[in-house]
Structure 1
Amino acid sequence: MDVVTIGETMVLFTPNEEGMLRHAHSFSMKFGGAESNVAIGLSRLGHRSRWISRLGEDEFGDAMYSFIRGEGVDVSYVTRDQTSPTGVFFKEFRRLNDMRVYYYRKESAASKMSAEWLPEDAISDAKYLHLTGITPGLSISCREMLEKAICTAKKNGTKIVFDPNLRLKIWEDEEEARHFLKKYASESNIFLPGIAEAEFLFGACTMEDYVEKFHSLGVETVIMKLGKEGALVSSKSVPMTKVPGFVVERVVDPIGAGDAFAAGVLSGLLDGMPLEESVRRGNAMGAMVTMVNGDVEGLPNRFDLAAFMNGGLEDVTR
């Protein structure tokens, strides 16, 4: 297995018109979750990915399971819960550049994941274990599960990739979030913070200072996401380098861009590309996703990705 990822995916309802959610009368149903977004992104590029989670024994769970499995992702370690529901969230496109997200995930099936529930062989055959800071915020049992996952990965030589994916709404308080995000960063081989997350963890600093602080935690490779500016890369073998981003004329939906970026970086590394080229692929993936409504709808296959990175396709393909 190339990449294993663990976390909650929820049913996503998006209004079919812009404006405040209270005025919406019709919605489109999709699916969204950082970890499954990464797994789907990798699968579309031809890599073997496995998504581990827990779903409610309900219609939403059935639909999600079928969708993610249909994307070629291994879902053999996804279990079902007869007493807890599949989580739900809503996007609200209030106006241009003003989008809000509302989560309904308390006591969801995924929040009941635990160490006892996670078999070691779900991770032991993977080259990379991808984790985010969302999962440990769901419950204490989810944190215990991640500890087991990390121990299993280290025991089997699986590299750990950690994206903080800060969601303050799921934590008891900011200090708790800060403590655990630093903890998981310190146990990772590759760390994927954004600027806002770096500032949350260490306060106001220069980009160079942030990178040094992350290395001081024990992180081997730091890849800081800089939005449309690209990313800053630093590792033992690569001195601090900025990898430029790709120009997007119109951002339709920014959610999921960071997950696409992670999938692109991992894809490049799996293909044996140098770190800087892998990050450039990640920048392209992130840019492409923002041009389409939905978390995974804009994730490309290899042909579309190559075309975009080489200047784009024709306006009309005949």
Structure 2
Amino acid sequence: MDVVTLGESMALFTPITQGYMRYASMFSLKIAGAESNVAIGLARLGHQCGWMSRLGKDEFGKKILNFIRGEGVDVSCVSFDSSAPTGLYFKEIVSDKEINIQYYRKDSAASRMKPSDLNEAYIAQAKYLHLTGITPALSEGCKETVYAAIEMAKKNGVTVIFDPNMRRRLWSEKEAKEVLLDIISNVDIVLPGQDEAMVLFGEYEPEDMAQQFLDHGVGSVVLKLGAEGAYYKTNKESGFVKAFPVERVVDPVGAGDGFAAGFISGLLDGLTFVEAVKRACAVGAMVTQINGDIEGLPEREKLERFISGSYQKDVNR
């Protein structure tokens, strides 16, 4: 197993038409969840991934399991809860520049995850454990599960990659900062957004922000800078990587998950750190051009064409 990840996935409803959701009469039904998005992104690039979670024993839960399994992700460590529902997620696309998110995930099946749900042998076989800051915000049990997963990974020599992925609607900024900083001090690589870094450490230049993470105990950090690209820093090297140009951003939601998938894929393929960050930027850019959280995640051939420039030429013909 290349990568194991842990987190909640939900049924995603999006109005067929743009505008306020109150006027919508028809919705599309898709699947969304930061961690499973990353697992699917990695699977499409040819890597072996496993996703751990809990789903409601309902039609949404069955759909999510079947879909993620159909994308080539191992779901053998996913359990069903007959007493709690699968979470729901609505994406309101008012316009190309205004996208609003509404979650219905309180007391969901995934929020009931606990350390005893984990399989240490399953985590131990992986090269990387991928986690996000969403899961510890769901409940006290989920937070304990994240810490237990990190402990299992470290015990077995598995590299832990953490995306803070701060969701302010799930907890207070004070609690989020306290927990995320504690988790950051216990992982190997962190993939924060610039806004998240500002919340955690204050307003600094990217180079100084990255150093703050290293001073906090992380071995490597890749700071996502949106349309400007990314800044990376390790104990040995640092630098900026330019973003890939995108003529029109259709849907930015899920771009960070694509970034994580591209970066981890680069590490798995033995690329240099800077080349892994470049691949991350490429996948993130591709995701923004397609409506949906996972619809724009590329397969390897398409990614290689995009990086070389031929994909963009094909799109513009």
Query: Same fold judged by TM-score > 0.5?
Result: yes
Letter in 2 for 1:68: I
**2:264 maps to what in 1?**
266
Q: 1:183 to 1:315 in 2, by over 3 A?
A: same
How far residue 276 of structure 1 moved from its aligned partner, in angstroms, is 0.2
Separation in structure 2 between the aligned mates of residue 175 and residue 36 of structure 1, nearest angstrom: 27
User: 3-state SS of the aligned residue for 1:237?
Assistant: coil
Residue 83 (structure 2) pairs with residue 66 (structure 1): no
Residue 248 (structure 2) pairs with residue 250 (structure 1): yes
User: 3-state SS of the aligned residue for 1:12?
Assistant: strand
**1:197 maps to what in 2?**
196
Letter in 2 for 1:257: A
Alignment of 1:99-178 (within 5 A): 99-171=99-171, 173-178=172-177
**2:293 maps to what in 1?**
295
User: 3-state SS of the aligned residue for 1:131?
Assistant: strand
**2:215 maps to what in 1?**
216
Runs of 4+ that moved beyond 4 A? none
Residue 2 (structure 2) pairs with residue 5 (structure 1): no
User: 3-state SS of the aligned residue for 1:130?
Assistant: strand
Separation in structure 1 between the aligned mates of residue 131 and residue 179 of structure 2, nearest angstrom: 13
Identity, % of aligned positions: 54
Separation in structure 2 between the aligned mates of residue 88 and residue 122 of structure 1, nearest angstrom: 28
Residue 184 (structure 2) pairs with residue 180 (structure 1): no
Letter in 1 for 2:131: L
Residue 27 (structure 2) pairs with residue 27 (structure 1): yes
How far residue 195 of structure 1 moved from its aligned partner, in angstroms, is 0.7
How far residue 94 of structure 1 moved from its aligned partner, in angstroms, is 1.1
User: 3-state SS of the aligned residue for 2:183?
Assistant: helix
How far residue 119 of structure 1 moved from its aligned partner, in angstroms, is 1.9
How far residue 228 of structure 1 moved from its aligned partner, in angstroms, is 1.3
Letter in 1 for 2:64: M
Q: Return the TM-score normalized by structure 1.
A: 0.97
Cα displacement string for residues 177-196 of structure 1 (whole angstroms, at most 9, x for unaligned residues): 00011111111111100110
**1:308 maps to what in 2?**
306
Q: How many pairs align? A: 316
Q: Return the TM-score normalized by structure 2.
A: 0.98
Letter in 1 for 2:95: R
Q: Which ranges in structure 1 are unaligned for 5 or more consecutive residues?
A: none
User: 3-state SS of the aligned residue for 2:257?
Assistant: helix
Separation in structure 2 between the aligned mates of residue 48 and residue 126 of structure 1, nearest angstrom: 9
User: 3-state SS of the aligned residue for 1:268?
Assistant: helix
User: 3-state SS of the aligned residue for 2:184?
Assistant: helix
8 Å Cα contact 2:44/2:71 also seen in 1: yes
Separation in structure 2 between the aligned mates of residue 207 and residue 250 of structure 1, nearest angstrom: 26
How far residue 286 of structure 1 moved from its aligned partner, in angstroms, is 0.1
How far residue 237 of structure 1 moved from its aligned partner, in angstroms, is 2.2
**1:234 maps to what in 2?**
233
Letter in 1 for 2:102: Y
Letter in 2 for 1:311: G
8 Å Cα contact 2:38/2:260 also seen in 1: yes
Q: 1:276 to 1:76 in 2, by over 3 A?
A: same
